[in-house]
Amino acid sequence: MTIIYEETADDGPPIPEQRITVRVNGRKVVAEVEPRLLLAHFLRYTMRLTGTHTGCDTTNCGACTVLVDGRAIKSCTMFAVMADGHEVTTVEGLASPSELHPLQEGFKEKHGLQCGFCTPGMMMAAKALLDRNPDPTEEDVRWALSGNLCRCTGYQNIVKSVLWAADKLRAESGQAEEAS
């Protein structure tokens, strides 16, 4: 039984579960889930990847944004069974064991967060942008983050954080090219 539905489990016949195989942050995961389980809840409650936040469950706030096959999606809008056979990246998959991802550094350097609730979703939406457009304009960043709400920082420093990360990523890839 999926953990978040345990308290209603005695109210009716058991809900049939479905086996899914998902690659999460590079790791293959096989799980039995109810078809009604949201991907956001699968990540938080089954995988214990609590960096993916849920602020509304209604596709408004973007706090639950993750990458599915490299595309930013709101994981409260997708069922876990729809991720079967796909690659999911959460905020926990950004950093390497030894150093922060440039986006994480950028949010630190440019003060892109206060309470931090929106931050994982902001970072994942920004990651999808920088993967397809390494040299975005401010307008590009604002457009890419337009589905993500922040209730405390305001957007100015978030945009600066993403642009800082873009500069750093481009500098790193330039250095890698020179070295090769």
In the complex, least distance from residue 64 CB atom to ligand FES, rounded to whole angstroms? 3
What the block records as the tokens of 30 is 């096989």
Nearer to ligand FES, 54 or 172 (CB): 54
Non-local (6+) Cβ contacts of 66 within 8 A are: 39, 43, 52, 72, 73, 75, 88, 89, 90, 91, 124
- Of the pair 27, 48, the CB lying nearest ligand FES is at 48
- State the CB neighbour count (10 A cutoff) for residue 49: 20
Which two structure tokens, joined as six digits, stand for 59?
């596709």
Per-residue x/- marks for ligand FES, 19-58, CB under 6 A? -----------------------------------xxxx-
The reply to whether 59 sits near ligand FES by the rule CB under 6 A is yes
Distances (CA, A) of 153 to 53, 113, 142, 167: 17, 6, 14, 22
- The CA distance from 26 to 45, in Å, is 19
Closer CB to ligand FES, residue 64 or residue 81? 64
- Judged by CB under 6 A, the chain residues 161 through 180 that form the site for ligand FES are none
Based on the shown chain and the rule CB under 6 A, indicate whether residue 78 belongs to the binding site for ligand FES: no
How does DSSP classify residue 11?
G
- Closest distance of CB 80 from ligand FES, Å: 14
Instruction: Return the residues of window 95-124 that contact ligand FES according to CB under 6 A.
Output: 113-119
Residue ranges in contact with ligand FES by CB under 6 A: 54-57, 59-64, 74, 76, 113-119, 150-153
